[in-house]
Amino acid sequence: MQQVRNNYIDGAWRPAEHCSESYNPSDTSELIGRYAIAGTADVRDAVEAARKAFADWKETSPQQRFDILDRAADKIAGRTQDLATLLSREEGKTLPEAAAEVTKAAHTFKYFAGEAVRLAGSSLRSVRKAVDVDVRREAVGVVGLITPWNFPFSIPAWKSAPALAYGNCVILKPSELTNAIAWELASILHDAGIPRGVFQMLMGGGDVGAALVSNRDVDAVSFTGSGAVGAMIAAQVVGRGAKLQLELGGKNPLVVADDADLDKAVDAAVRGAFYSTGQRCTASSRIIVDATVHDGFVERLVERTARLRVGHALDSASDIGPLVSAAQLQRVSRYAEAAPSDGARHAFGGRVLAAPANGYYFEPAIFLDGTMHQNINREEVFGPIVSVFKASDFEDAVRLANATEFGLSAGIFTSSHAKARAFIRASNSGMVMVNLPTVGSDYHVPFGGRGASAYGPKEMGLGAIEFFTQTKTAYIAD
């Protein structure tokens, strides 16, 4: 019997009345672990501990915060292989993808260790004589971080690292599907010397998240997940005047212009749409191809997709692992089944696969004749299904790219500098990629979307300073 992993509250591992189990989506006969589920009292105690710790933590020296975050980064980097293996076993992404995620988390902690020292305000002259003005940046207070399962290590890292660097106290509520890897993050921060109450981690489902965001002592909430849950959280948090940051879904377009390098465009489409089993908020789900190159592009896309190997996440021969859960497999296959009745022409894939083991395997799918009336193009599928649109010219391609309420990431393949610049200017997305897949981002620049894809300041880079600090303007005279 595996030992139960407990919640982390006020510097200690606390058992709970109830626990849950998780199984490997590549092979559901393998138990990953058993986890304590936080109760209402745990949520209350975690918030109280954070509130109590905040008074000291916001006054710690930048050097002390640097040291803790830097140590956490080293511990993560030193355990890349074992953390990546656990992540693969729990979430189902392939080992190279999991290792890249762990490395990004280590880099994020390193970067924000430095940011703790670099945090700057500004000093100005007042419009009045002999008065100076200081605009300072201070911590916000107690922050609740609610995260999804698809980047179960890097998203908790990229929310926690800046929150702690700027002097906030944290309560992390990870996805109930990925407790194992979140537990490791809490354990690493504990070992790195995080003071009591400064960081807590509560496991459980939506009810634990709901209890956290409705607690009036939580000053700010940063959420990454679905639009439906984001809307429920917004109703709670905005009403009571707390700060809110939402990173939600996408319906990301990749435009292939008439002058694109087709081999590179196909490679980016396959990576963006199907790798990580399509379970990325920035995944390319709508490929918009100029009519003059459409048929050649589709031929290569189908040929390349047919060569992808779907398999066990830990098998080095696998390009794509399973979907994360039975519910996700059911949801994605329903979209594939319904697409033809919506006018989408089936070109490849879309079957539930029985091999290589008892897991949630799904064959990547390509549909043609895309229109914005089809459900697979209006709603976020969050799986390896792509829809190809035929654009009559460049203007039509830009129009189609923007014809969605979402606005997370958008890409274009073109050899024309003018088209690339025009696309960057016209795009309604928060991130634009030129001759690159729609997925993939750096940790030192803002990450996030527009429209239905986001709310509040962006994450990472300058966005993180905006969200995890508040300004105070001091007027000073002799």
By CB under 6 A, residue 140 contacts ligand NAD: no
Question: Could you tell me the sign of the dihedral formed by the alpha carbons of 137, 190, 83, 43, in that order?
Answer: negative
Q: How far apart are the first and last CA of the chain?
A: 70
By CB under 6 A, residue 229 contacts ligand NAD: yes
By CB under 6 A, residue 83 contacts ligand NAD: no
Among 25, 33, 92, 148, binds ligand NAD (CB under 6 A): 148
Gap between the Cα atoms of 320 and 26, Å rounded: 11
By CB under 6 A, residue 121 contacts ligand NAD: no
Gap between the Cα atoms of 361 and 321, Å rounded: 7
Among 4, 19, 100, 210, binds ligand NAD (CB under 6 A): 210
Query: Quick check: is 281 catalytic?
Result: yes
By CB under 6 A, residue 209 contacts ligand NAD: yes
CB of 282 to ligand NAD, least distance (A): 7
Among 408, 431, 432, 465, binds ligand NAD (CB under 6 A): 408
CA distances, 252 to each of 276, 278, 350, 351 (Å): 15, 12, 20, 23
By CB under 6 A, residue 248 contacts ligand NAD: yes
Among 62, 96, 195, 205, binds ligand NAD (CB under 6 A): 205
By CB under 6 A, residue 382 contacts ligand NAD: yes
By beta-carbon proximity to ligand NAD, the closer residue of 203 and 336 is: 203
Among 269, 281, 344, 381, binds ligand NAD (CB under 6 A): 281
Catalytic residue among 281, 363, 459, 466: 281
Residues 6+ apart with CB under 8 A from 205: 37, 176
Where are the alpha helices (H) located in 166-205, listed in sequence order? 179-191
Beta strand ranges found along 152-228 (DSSP E): 169-173, 199-201, 220-224
Residues 23-42 that bind ligand NAD (CB under 6 A): none
Gap between the Cα atoms of 140 and 404, Å rounded: 34
Gap between the Cα atoms of 72 and 158, Å rounded: 13
Query: Quick check: is 91 catalytic?
Result: no
Catalytic residue among 91, 101, 184, 247: 247
Strand partners, 348: 366
Q: Which residue has the tokens 């996030």?
A: 448
By beta-carbon proximity to ligand NAD, the closer residue of 176 and 290 is: 176
**3-state class (DSSP) for residue 200:** strand
Pair of tokens at residue 58: 């916001």
- Buried b / exposed e over 407-435, threshold 16 CB at 10 Å, is bbbbbbbbeeeebbebbeeebbbbbbbee
CB of 276 to ligand NAD, least distance (A): 10
The amino acid that residue 168 corresponds to is N
By beta-carbon proximity to ligand NAD, the closer residue of 52 and 378 is: 378
Residue numbers annotated as active site: 247, 281
Residues near ligand NAD, by CB under 6 A = 146-151, 173, 175-176, 205-206, 209-210, 213, 224-226, 229, 232-233, 247-250, 281, 380, 382, 408, 449, 453
